[in-house]
Amino acid sequence: MELHLPNRLWHFHGGLHPEQHKGFTRDKPIRSSTLPDQLILPLQQHIGAEAEACVQVGDTVYKGQPVATASGYVSASLHAPTSGTITGIEDRPLPHPSGLSGTCIVIEPDGRDEWWPERPAPVDDYLALDPADIRQRVRDAGIVGLGGAAFPTAVKLNPPSRHQIDTLIINGAECEPYITCDDRLMRERADLVIEGVRIIRQALGIQRVLIGVEDNKPEACDAIEQCIKDKKLKDMKLLRVPTIYPTGGEKQLIKVLTGREVPSNGLPADIGVVCHNVGTAASVYRAIAHGEPMVSRIMTVTGKGVNAPCNLEVLIGTPISHLVAQAEGYTDQAERLIMGGPMMGFAMSSDEVPVIKGTNCILVARSNEVENPVQAMPCIRCGRCTSVCPANLLPQEMYWNARARDFDKIQDYNLFDCIECGCCAAVCPSHIPLVQYYRFAKTEIWALERAKDKSDHARERHEFRLERLEREKKEKAERLAKKKAALAAKKSKDGKTKDEDAKKAAIAAALERAKAKKVQAEVQPKNTDDLTEAQQRQIDEAESRRKALSEHKATPEEASEP
Average pLDDT over all residues of the chain: 90
* 106 falls within a domain: yes
Give me the domain span that covers residue 351.
22-112+119-369
The one-letter amino acid code at 8 reads R
Q: What is the pLDDT of residue 561?
A: 46
Q: By mean pLDDT, which of 24-28, 223-227, 351-355, 555-559 is the weakest?
A: 555-559
H or E element in which residue 41 lies: strand 39-42
Q: Strands (DSSP E) along 100-166, which ranges?
A: 101-109
pLDDT of residue 496: 64
Confidence band (pLDDT; 50, 70, 90) for 508?
A: confident
Residues 6+ positions from 439 with CB-CB distance below 8 Å: 97, 420
| pLDDT level of residue 552 (50, 70, 90 thresholds) | low
Say which CATH number the domain at 203 has. 3.40.50.11540
Closest to 139 in 3D by CA, of 193, 77, 63 = 77
Q: Are 394 and 386 in contact (CB under 8 A)?
A: yes
Q: How many domains does the chain have?
A: 1
Considering just the CA atoms, what is the radius of gyration of the chain in Å? 44
| pLDDT above 70: percentage of residues in the chain | 93
Burial class (CB in 10 A: 0-12, 13-18, 19+), 261: middle
Question: What is the chain's length?
Answer: 562
Q: What percent helix, strand, coil does the chain show, rounded to 5?
A: 40, 15, 40
- Domain annotation covers residue 250: yes
Which among 414, 396, 422 has a CA at the least distance from the CA of 263? 414
Nearest to 172 by CA among 197, 153, 150, 151: 197
Predicted pLDDT of residue 512: 80
Q: Across residues 511-534, what is the average pLDDT?
A: 67
370 Cβ partners below 8 Å, 6+ apart?
Answer: 336, 338, 342, 345, 347, 363
Q: Does residue 463 sit within a domain?
A: no
The CA-based angle 187-252-239, given to 5 degrees, is 40
Q: What is the pLDDT of residue 186?
A: 97
Residue 161: pLDDT band (50, 70, 90) is confident
* Helix or strand holding residue 190 (H, E): helix 190-204
Confidence at residue 529, expressed as pLDDT on a 0 to 100 scale:
58
Among the residues of 14-101, which ranges form H helices? none
The average pLDDT across 3-24 equals: 84
Rounded mean pLDDT, 86-109: 92
Beta carbons of 16 and 248 less than 8 angstroms apart: no
The pLDDT assigned to 358 comes to: 93
Name 491's Cβ contacts closer than 8 Å, sequence gap at least 6: none
For residue 273, the tally of other CB atoms under 10 A from its CB is 26
Q: Which range, of 137-151, 422-436, 526-540, averages the lowest pLDDT?
A: 526-540
10 Å CB burial of residue 280 (0-12, 13-18, 19+) is buried
* CB-CB neighbours of 215 under 10 Å: 13
391 belongs to a structural domain? no
Task: Look at residue 8 in the predicted model and tell me its pLDDT.
Answer: 80
Q: Name the H helices within 141-177.
A: 153-156
- Domain contains 218: yes
Distance CA 533, CA 382 (A): 156
Residue 426: which residues within 8 A CB-CB, separation 6 or more?
16, 18, 343, 388
Phi, then psi, of 108 in degrees rounded to 5: -100, 110
Is residue 76 helix, strand or coil? coil
Max intra-chain CA distance, the chain: 164
| Cβ atoms of 178 and 341 closer than 8 Å | yes
Looking at residue 1, its pLDDT comes to 43
Angle at 351 between CA 345 and CA 353, to 5 degrees: 80
pLDDT at 504 over 50: yes
Residue 554: inside a domain: no
pLDDT tens digits along 373-396: 778 999 999 999 999 999 999 999
* Contact of 192 with 126, CB cutoff 8 Å: no
Q: Which residues, including other chains, have CB under 8 Å from residue 457's CB and lie 6 or more apart?
A: none
* H or E segment and range at residue 78: strand 78-79
Query: Out of 61-65, 458-462, 513-517, which region has the weakest mean confidence (pLDDT)?
Result: 513-517
Cβ contacts of 2 within 8 Å, gap of 6 or more: 234, 235
pLDDT interval class at 495 (50, 70, 90) = low
Q: Cα(258)–Cα(141) distance, rounded to whole angstroms?
A: 31
Whether residue 330 is contained in a domain is answered as yes
In sequence order, what are the residues at sequence separation of 6 or more whose Cβ sits closer than 8 angstroms to the Cβ of residue 272? 163, 164, 165, 166, 167, 260
- Specify the range with the lowest mean pLDDT, choosing from 374-383, 465-474, 499-508, 553-562: 553-562
Instruction: Identify the pLDDT of residue 522.
Output: 60
Q: Is the pLDDT of residue 517 over 80?
A: no
Counting residues of the chain whose pLDDT is more than 90, the rounded percentage is 75
Is residue 177 a part of any domain in this protein? yes
Chain centroid to Cα 53, Å, comes to 14
Does the pLDDT value for residue 372 go beyond 90?
A: no
Backbone dihedral angles phi then psi of residue 41, each to the nearest 5 degrees: -115, 100
Residue-level pLDDT at 138: 97
